[in-house]
Amino acid sequence: QFSLDRIPRSREVRQSWISSVVTTLYSILYSLPLTYKRKPDLILCNGPGTCVPVCLSAFLLGLLRIKRTIIVYVESICRVETLSLSGKILYYFSDYFIVQWPDLKKKYPKSVYLGRIV
């Protein structure tokens, strides 16, 4: 059994950085009641910026001692030398940060290298 929920995109392709702050905050505010309602045990996400507001909302619920959610972020296989913007943000908030290239593990010691898990 599962359910699907939609949240607004936090950033459009080629959207300016200034306006993306506003849309990301809107997505976080939209995600907060959703994560509060669902109270997930685990969030498994990869890549797209849409996962950032959901993960930050879940992280905030944990800080408020409402519900502790395990956040697992899998960086895209195409990120060989540097992290994506989502990865750079969630590196600090995730419980498990998985990379698919050994060079990224060297640069980001908190990460877990499991090989290619596509």
Residue 117's pLDDT band, with cuts at 50, 70 and 90, is: confident
Residues near 83 by beta carbon (within 8 Å), at least 6 away in sequence: 75, 91, 104, 108
**Lowest-pLDDT choice from 10-14, 23-27, 58-62, 65-69:** 10-14
DSSP 64: T
Residue 118 pLDDT: 67
User: Residue 30: which of 50, 8, 12, 47 has the closest Cα?
Assistant: 8
**Per-residue CA distances from 15 to 12, 24, 26, 27, 35 (Å):** 5, 11, 15, 15, 26
Provide mean pLDDT across the span 14-22: 87
Residues 19 and 65: beta-carbon distance below 8 Å: no
